[in-house]
Chain A
């Protein structure tokens, strides 16, 4: 995904002299092509993210289009106050790209995990929160984000993510994407965990359970229209995210549902990370399994709940 980001930003820089890429001393050689464009603007801000965010806001206030790129915790929690005050309070178009988000850097330990970014950003006014599932969706998110005149956070993975979406399918911020039709259960997911969600859907289908998969690349603004439709259609909805079960997509959906007039009888399951730091490290897949957000865990719990509901 980071390679796709570098490639797309390089393509965009050729025609957008206002674009400024700011890096927090990361992406070794990743942006060589970008830098080789004579009119491109690249600022390595060093390991000083609070300053980098303020600089980006100052650039945006002066009519430029800054894009900040570094590992997610350092471009979110590390400089949260600068995001809140400099970017969001001023409501200026700073694009914040968090790379290696969720459990992408599982083996690096909790300092490099980002499992609370949705939660803290959701409470900020003016910001749009995007979590593309693959490189194709990332490119579309980036292009849509550049059209906005307000802050955007794009949460991306690392590398080697499976391609799940099609180039030609249009993407609209705040509008969910259907990955697969089905009429018995629904899986709602966001970000790179969508590959596990699709595998879980295959497992459900193999048991004869027709499964709908809906991708929410936009966490904020929340696509309430799609939620209304899905909640009126399905008895069982599983919400999957590589983020804490607190305050993320499940949190957003739960808040929406609590204020709805309609009395949905839908059973909602939350698949998010546990409310604890991971002291045992391992691969991303190991971390997903440990947190019960892998395909098999999603399948097992969803299938059992579906069977139970069907007996009622």
Chain B
């Protein structure tokens, strides 16, 4: 798929996420918007998954370890055809399966793991990647982490084991939007670069502009190094795509009003 087409899909995804937030009161808009581009690139250009055969044992796995980005994933899975838009209609209603975080795989096609408590997705993904090596079902595992999520110790436990076990079918992305819920990440964990940390743990690392579709596509085409897991740092902007949301951490929890939705759609060049 052409880069311009993927960029267009990303704009539509952003508009759907914003409208859904307005309609249903779903927060974490800033965190969702920063990771839209990687989600679109993965689902529309990289992952080997047939939405109609989403339980196939040889499918690629994607885990949204930063589970609070679920509102983005839910829209993209619908756009990719894992389920119909109609299923999203009870979003935010009592009895809906669409929580603020992904449900278990039994409850929604396309979901590989119920995340939301941070630091769980990478160990689970590592287990899946190891299962591929054990059972001989060849597939790749992709895990999207938040930079704030890298506060969690379990991430670094998994980082050491993945290298020790020479897991090469595992790729992580760190959505480095430099913010966590209440503070700048660097104020909490120091300013050592994330790439240096992953490199020091023995991972094959890359660092790109994570909201630049072409750079994402390029890095996804990189030839992997044998016997080493891959870590791709995505320099992103929280709230990416809407000028008044960008890098403003109020949008971690704020819900847009009608005027803000209209303004956002205008900026995204999408019709409301």
Contacts and interface: CB of A to CB of B under 8 A. Distances in A.
B126 interface: yes
B158 A54 contact: yes
A269 to B, nearest CB: 40
B126 A90 contact: no
A41 interface: yes
Contact of A55 (B105, B113, B130, B132): B130
A90 B127 CA distance: 14
B120 A82 contact: yes
A294 interface: no
14 contacts: A45-B161, A46-B157, A48-B161, A54-B127, A55-B124, A59-B130, A60-B127, A61-B105, A62-B57, A63-B135, A85-B114, A90-B105, A91-B104, A91-B106
B157 A51 contact: yes
Given A46-B161, A50-B154, A62 B127 contact: yes
Interface residues on B, range: 20 to 34
Contact of A61 (B120, B124, B154, B158): B124
A62 B120 contact: no
Contact of B123 (A18, A43, A58, A90): A58
B131 interface: yes
Interface of B: 57, 104-106, 112-114, 117, 119-120, 122-132, 134-135, 137, 153-154, 157-158, 160-161, 164-165
Contact of B128 (A46, A62, A85, A91): A62
A286 to B, nearest CB: 36
Interface residues of A, number: 30
Interface string A52-69: 111111111111101000
Given A50-B153, A50-B157, A90-B105, A55 B117 contact: no
Q: Which 3 pairs of residues, A with B, have the shortest CB-CB distance?
A: A58-B127, A54-B123, A51-B157
B65 to A, nearest CB: 10
A63 B57 contact: yes
B123 A82 contact: yes
B154 A54 contact: yes
A137 interface: no
Contact of A62 (B114, B135, B161): B135
Given A58-B125, A61-B124, A82-B154, A90 B114 contact: yes
Nearest to B63: A58
Nearest to A59: B127
A78 to B, nearest CB: 11
Most buried by A among B112, B129, B131: B131
